[in-house]
């Protein structure tokens, strides 16, 4: 089953910085629910993606390769192929991404066009679910990526200040005790806190897609049932 998908998300940094962030695959991989990187060799990435749809659990292993990285135009092209670890299903995709300044200051709009082809069990769910799954997946990735960038920015800002405070405090203590000279300040290493990212063990498409769809359909079904009951009563009244 082949399908074309279009998605977009915003990165809270200018395009030049967003370019460097998005090409650091090993760092941003945990932002993608169910995704993990096993190795990176130049422009080729080996990885794994886990997907869960109700009782159906799928795991794909495959390779993604950058086929284009044009920093002047901020465009990226990726070709990816994968195969089920337990099954005969396959997945292949060609992804084209472009980075442009967003409406907000110091923000980047990332537009993605994906040509996806899947075989095996996922194809049974039809075309209607895949756009929903990809949209929810990209939204979760963008949320996690923003948390990562904000955490890195806070850590980068806090570290010099903490180091300066630690150095000043050490110099004062040394002056009072006479154990160290002003020419040899004691440096205090401050380790920035790691970014807080809630990594999903697998992409739970049931939670992302089916449950929201059911929530939308239940009120519609209730209205339909009420109309059906009213029609039956009218018909029975006419017969009597």
Express each pLDDT in 201-229 by its tens digit: 555 655 555 444 444 445 545 565 666 66
The residue-averaged pLDDT of 141-153 equals 89
Q: What pLDDT band is residue 190 in, cutting at 50, 70 and 90? A: very low
Torsion of CA 139, 142, 147, 150, to 10 degrees: -140
By residue count, the chain amounts to 240
Fold topology of 1-234 = Alpha-D-Glucose-1,6-Bisphosphate; Chain A, domain 4 (3.30.530)
Contact present, 94 and 115 (Cβ < 8 Å): yes
More confident residue, 212 or 19: 19
Q: Per-residue confidence at 191, pLDDT binned at 50, 70, 90?
A: very low
Is the pLDDT assigned to residue 166 strictly greater than 90?
A: no
Strand residue runs (E) in 54-211: 56-70, 75-84, 90-101, 108-118, 203-204
Chain segment 74-88, per-residue pLDDT in tens: 999 999 999 999 888
Q: How far is residue 207's CA from residue 51's CA, in Å, rounded to a whole number?
A: 11
Please indicate whether residue 191 or residue 98 has the higher confidence score (pLDDT).
98
Q: What percent of the chain clears pLDDT 70, i.e. is strictly above it?
A: 63
| Cβ(31)–Cβ(145) below 8 Å | yes
The answer to whether 207 and 139 are in contact (CB under 8 A) is no
In which band, very low, low, confident or very high, does the pLDDT at 200 lie, cut at 50, 70 and 90? low
Give the residue, 21 or 183, on which the prediction is more confident. 21
* Among 86, 80, 58, residue whose Cα is nearest residue 205: 58
Rg over CA atoms, the chain: 26
Higher pLDDT, 173 or 72: 72
Residue 166 neighbours by CB under 8 Å, 6+ apart: 187, 188, 190
- Categorize the per-residue pLDDT at 96 as very low, low, confident or very high, splitting at 50, 70 and 90: very high
Can you give the pLDDT at residue 142?
Answer: 92
More reliable by pLDDT, 192 or 124: 124
Question: What residue segments make up the domains of the chain, in order of their start?
Answer: 1-234
Q: Please report which confidence band the pLDDT of residue 69 belongs to, taking 50, 70 and 90 as the band edges.
A: very high
pLDDT value at position 157? 72
pLDDT in tens, 39-63: 999 999 999 988 776 667 888 999 9
Percentage above 90 pLDDT, the chain: 40
> Measuring CA to CA, which residue among 62, 168, 36, 57 is closest to residue 116?
62
Determine contact, residues 60/47, Cβ cutoff 8 Å. Answer: no
Q: Which residues share a beta bridge with 65?
A: 44, 79
């Amino acid at each position: 089953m082949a399908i074309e998908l279009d998605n977009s998300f915003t990165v809270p940094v200018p395009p030049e910085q967003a370019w460097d962030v998005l090409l650091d695959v090993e760092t941003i991989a945990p932002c993608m629910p169910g995704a993990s990187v096993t190795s990176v060799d130049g422009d080729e990435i080996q990885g794994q993606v886990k997907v869960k749809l109700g009782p159906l659990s799928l795991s794909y292993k495959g390779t993604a390769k950058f086929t284009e990285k044009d920093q002047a135009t901020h465009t990226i092209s990726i070709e990816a192929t994968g195969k089920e670890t337990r099954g005969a299903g396959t997945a292949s995709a060609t992804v084209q991404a472009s980075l442009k300044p967003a409406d907000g200051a110091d923000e980047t709009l990332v537009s993605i066009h994906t040509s996806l082809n899947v075989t095996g069990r996922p194809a049974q769910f039809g075309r209607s679910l895949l756009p929903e799954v990809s949209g929810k997946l990209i939204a979760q990735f963008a949320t996690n990526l923003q948390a990562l960038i904000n955490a890195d920015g806070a850590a980068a800002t806090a570290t010099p200040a903490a180091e300066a405070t630690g150095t000043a405090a050490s110099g004062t203590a040394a002056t009072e005790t006479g154990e160290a000279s002003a020419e040899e300040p004691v440096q205090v290493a401050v380790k920035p806190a790691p970014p807080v990212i809630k990594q999903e063990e697998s992409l739970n498409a049931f939670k992302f897609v089916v449950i929201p769809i059911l929530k939308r359909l239940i009120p519609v079904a209730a209205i339909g049932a009420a109309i059906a009951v009213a029609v039956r009563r009218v018909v029975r009244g006419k017969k009597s």
